[in-house]
Amino acid sequence: MEQDSYGMVNIQVPAEHLIEAIQALKAYEKAPVQLLTDLCAVHYPDKAGKELEVVYHLHSLTQNLRLRLKVAIAQDAATVPTLCNEFAGANWMERETFDFYGVKFEGHPDLRRILNMDQMDYHPMLKQYALEDETRDDKDDQFFGR
C-alpha cells in the first residue's frame, strides 16, 4: 500500500484475491467502501507478464476516503473476476474496458462490445497501434518537433 502525491491510497492486489479484497474493503468498519467510482485499464507493453493493469477507483462516502486498487495481469491471459456482484455499476465499465483493452471479466453477465462495432477484431487502446497515420504525406515534420 502506498500514497500518491494527491493523497490517494494505492493498493496492488493479485487478480485471484480481487473479490476477497473488495469484500474486505466494503466490510471495513472505520471506512467502508460503498461506491465504485471508475474502472479502467492501462497498457504497459514493456512490463513483461504485467502488460495490462486494471484500475479500480473506490470511495468511502461516510469518511470521504478515495482509494485506487490495481490488478496487474499478462496481456495473453487478460482475465480478472467481475465486480458486477459487488457493484452494479461495474457492468458497463467492465464492458468498456473489455471493448478497448480486451480484458475479460470472468463471470460478467453480458461481456460484449459497448462502444465499438461488433465487427472489430482488435482492441484500439492497446499501444501496439501507431498514434499517427503513417501513410499521410501532407504533414510537414518541422511543425511537429521532429
The pLDDT of residue 74 = 97
Look up the domain containing 112 and give its range. 2-129
On whether residue 123 sits in a domain, the answer given is yes
On whether residue 50 sits in a domain, the answer given is yes
Q: Over the stretch 47-57, which tens digit does the pLDDT of each residue have?
A: 999 999 999 99
The pLDDT of residue 22 = 97
Say how far apart CA 31 and CA 121 lie, in whole Å.
42
Say how far apart CA 51 and CA 81 lie, in whole Å.
17
Using DSSP, state whether 142 is helix, strand or coil. Answer: helix
Handedness of CA 62, 36, 28, 107 (dihedral sign): positive
Query: With pLDDT > 70 as the criterion, what percentage of the chain qualifies?
Result: 91
Residue 141 has pLDDT above 80, yes or no: no
How many domains are there within the chain? 1
Residue 75 has pLDDT above 60, yes or no: yes
On whether residue 29 sits in a domain, the answer given is yes
Q: Nearest-CA neighbor of 96 among 108, 76, 114, 78?
A: 114
Rounded to two decimals, what is the model's pTM? 0.86
* Alpha carbon of residue 14 to chain centroid: 14
On whether residue 140 sits in a domain, the answer given is no
On whether residue 135 sits in a domain, the answer given is no
| Cell numbers given for 39 | 474502472
On whether residue 26 sits in a domain, the answer given is yes
Say how far apart CA 73 and CA 36 lie, in whole Å.
20
The pLDDT of residue 106 = 98
| Angle in degrees, CA 25, 11, 34, rounded to 5 | 30
Using DSSP, state whether 22 is helix, strand or coil. Answer: helix
Residue 87 has pLDDT above 70, yes or no: yes
Average pLDDT of the chain, as a whole number: 91
Bridge partners, 70 (sequence order): 12, 55
CATH number at residue 30: 3.30.460.80
On whether residue 136 sits in a domain, the answer given is no
The pLDDT of residue 2 = 74
Q: Over the stretch 120-140, which tens digit does the pLDDT of each residue have?
A: 898 989 988 766 777 777 776
Q: φ and ψ at 15, to 5 degrees?
A: -55, -35
On whether residue 101 sits in a domain, the answer given is yes
Confidence of residue 144 (pLDDT cuts 50, 70, 90): low
